[in-house]
Structure 1
């Protein structure tokens, strides 16, 4: 099928960058068109006989809802999907398709990739852990892949240490083969018993300088005028009753009638406090049973939706109990698991779409169905936050995007929000160091 869209000039530059390099990475914020850029370069590689067959590795929902949809828009590629049952995966891999798309969770099930000589890692941060099961399984069988490209929105969303694994899978010549040597060179060990390392002075700049030749950075100035503004608004709300929250924070224990909720350690109390900032707490570990003591966020959400004239809105949640309360309050709401929900949302037929950042955090095109988003609670991951915002604020959006962040006053919500801003500062420094000269 002939392509129906044309790349913008900055996207063509990125596609050329990929075409000219066997090992390369594209660092581009959400909505900048990484998939379109890569499809263009992939098709040119196939046409010129440089690559005979591509393997694309991506999060599952991106495999099913992004690559098959975007491919006919930007190329003549018809990808085969190695997603689903073992038989379906085998059929796709053994097919004659020049491009096969598979999800990260199935990497450790692959036995032979000798028919592929090119690979694209969409959302490269999924491979930040070189000691992980899928990473090790992939390393053993990808020797035939001469061409290796990675796509990401941020190498350093959770810290500089994440960069090593991502670069190693693309090109071991960038930062070396051994993570231990990488840590010794660029970090200072603060606790050997727990393997805690902090970057040495100037480490971020040094690492970015090392990987710059293999990285194309799509600078904000290149595309920001192509997108409408994104307005982020804090919506502060007060707990109806602060006493339970303060007791948990102080004593790691709180009692509701006959139920006693205990946090075993600091990590557990952090989780409990985030739940309580939303007005509930799980009564047992594993999310079995919950106790509600405040509906402040949900009451404010109702008001906010009414204030926006019931405009189509994406609501991001963290806990299943939050989802359950959203469904109780808004029976008409849809989730990412409902049939054809992405298509219906983009046709403007879904007033309220409920999504966990992990299920809506990568690659999905939701910009055609609405321009309002509410974070009922926040993820700790900057990458997930930015990727979720990027479902609406991306190429093709025609209206101003409004992001509402609900924060319970004097709670851990404020700490999480501040932590995301701190991580953003690190990412901004990395971006500055990586700018192509």
Structure 2
């Protein structure tokens, strides 16, 4: 296929070529991969400025997207891609290949640095999904920090650089500029742009941006970032978001409320609820709304099938391929069993992606965390069903963008199964308000706890 870049894509390509560090904060569907690959080819073969490129990406993206993009576009077919994936032996063999681009999943960054730091062969870095490095305490960030000076050029790609707030930006921008713009340490960054929010003694549970922080931070990083919204540059088909209300019977609702109360009472009676406890309890409540609870042996005990029955109606009525996002193991198992007549497939491999896009899969299921970034699924269908919603705006938006993106030719229909009177309603509301921060999560659970204590 011939690549005819849009004006914004041409500007982004020129930005990568002209600057040593660039953050492409482009919304989903704007073609971050083809932009970056086009710049890479020019830097390697025309400018003679780069020899080998290391791409760090989520696992499914590392397996499929970068090589698929090279195969898709005529001007990129000569680029040689090696995949540093699989067993240690396979990874070492891939590193030994003579290639232009070496793609590795983010989980193996520590291994790569530990084993090849002294014989580094890459002079350009591309981080596909920069938010993977938002945590400065994570092992992958610390490992990448060690070899960052070895790269002459760095590109960071993401559609939402601060899905959980401005605090995420420090580590991401550090990857790009080594601390030049947002301070050398996260402690200094916090001191300048934030004040403590909720505290318990010396423990700070969250940080609140000071007045003007967002504008100041945006100005600081504006010279090395490009930020664009797909709505401003693409003509996408219509998107229809549909909340499908699922009504539990009186008995089912009683079971849910009893279990909900038990889980909420596990939270501390203190005013402050820790983020870890809140996330765990929210996960348990979402599992309940899906219709099952785990017993002491780890087995799933089903207490309602209302969502499965509603999902069956949607699949039958559509008579077309359906992509279903599930949240928990029992949901995965129950969906696969309930719709076995459709020979459902779970999205795991490059073959699954190809078969879906070629129209050979009627029902495809996936966890949103595994398909969130870079996968192109728009050729295979236009119907999404959220069996359960995630408490993550980033996961939600990225997963929807697998179908609602450039190249989609039909209106995209997004069904959200909402069990009335359950935590589903609060999660849906938070996603609609675009606020799934830790503070919002803890507030939601605190309110729920007060309700059950009344």
What is the TM-score with the length of structure 1 in the denominator?
Answer: 0.90
Unaligned segments of structure 1, at least 5 residues: 254-261, 427-437
Q: Report how many residues are paired.
A: 412
CA shift, 1:173, in A, is 1.1
Alignment RMSD: 2.0
The structure 1 residue matched to 2:102, chosen from 91, 97, 100, is 100
What is aligned with 1:237?
A: 246
* Aligned with residue 118 of structure 1, among 118, 124, 147: 124
> Structure 2: how far apart are the matches of 1:67 and 1:339?
12
Cα deviation 1:370-397 (Å, max 9, x = unaligned): 0000000011111111111111111211
* Counterpart residue number, 2:234: 224
Alignment of 1:22-421 (within 5 A): 22-47=20-45, 48-74=47-73, 75=76, 76-110=78-112, 111-112=116-117, 114-171=120-177, 172-190=179-197, 191=199, 192-225=202-235, 227-240=236-249, 241-252=252-263, 263=266, 267=278, 268-284=280-296, 288-308=298-318, 310-331=319-340, 332-337=343-348, 340-421=351-432
Q: Deviations over 1:110-169 (max 9, x none)?
A: 132632111000011100011111111111123210101100010111121111111111
CA–CA distance in 1 between the matches of 2:207 and 2:435? Answer: 20
Which residue of the partner structure matches residue 442 of structure 2? none
Q: CA separation in 1, counterparts of 2:213 and 2:352?
A: 44
Are 1:158 and 1:423, in contact at CA under 8 Å, matched by a contact in 2? no
Deviation by residue 1:32-63 (Cα, 9 ceiling, x = unmatched):
11000100111111121111211111111101
- Once the two structures are TM-superposed, the CA of residue 339 in structure 1 deviates from its matched residue by 7.5
Runs of 4+ aligned residues of structure 1 deviating over 6 Å after TM superposition are none
> What whole-Å deviation, never above 9, does each CA across 1:184-243 have from its counterpart, x for those lacking one?
111111324144312222222221221111111123344231x21221111111122211
Q: Secondary structure at the match of 1:174?
A: coil
Evaluate the alpha carbon distance shift between residue 18 and residue 379 of structure 1 in structure 2; reply closer, same or farther with a 3 A threshold. Answer: same
Change (3 A) 1:91 1:193: same
Query: 1:87 deviation in Å?
Result: 2.0
Indicate the SS of the match to 2:365.
strand
**C-alpha distance after superposition, 1:347-366 (max 9, x if no partner):** 11100000000111111111
Which residue, out of 14, 17, 21, partners 2:19? Answer: 21
Residue-by-residue CA offset, 1:86-118 (whole Å, 9 max, x unaligned): 122222223221211111011001132632111
Would the alpha carbon gap of residues 248 and 269 (structure 1) be closer, same or farther in structure 2, given more than 3 Å must change?
farther
8 Å Cα contact 2:57/2:103 also seen in 1: yes
Task: State the distance in 1 between where 2:423 and 2:234 align.
Answer: 32
Q: Distance in 1 between matches of 2:205 and 2:267?
A: 22
3-state SS of the aligned residue for 1:359? Answer: helix
Q: Does the Cα contact within 8 Å between 2:419 and 2:425 map onto a contact in 1?
A: yes
Q: Tell me the secondary structure at the aligned position of residue 234 of structure 1.
A: strand
Pairwise CA distance, 1:424: 6.1
Distance, in Å, in 2 between the alignment partners of 1:353 and 1:420 is 23
Contact 2:357 2:378 in 1 (8 A): yes
Mark the runs of 5 or more structure 2 residues left unpaired by the alignment.
269-276, 438-454
Distance of 1:236 and 1:425 partners within structure 2: 21
Residues 1:238 and 1:314: Cα distance change in structure 2 (over 3 Å): same
**1:288-341 superposed Cα distances (whole Å, 9 cap, x missing partner):** 112211111111111111222x21000000001001110111111110136821
In the aligned structure 2, how far is the partner of 1:336 from the partner of 1:79? 23
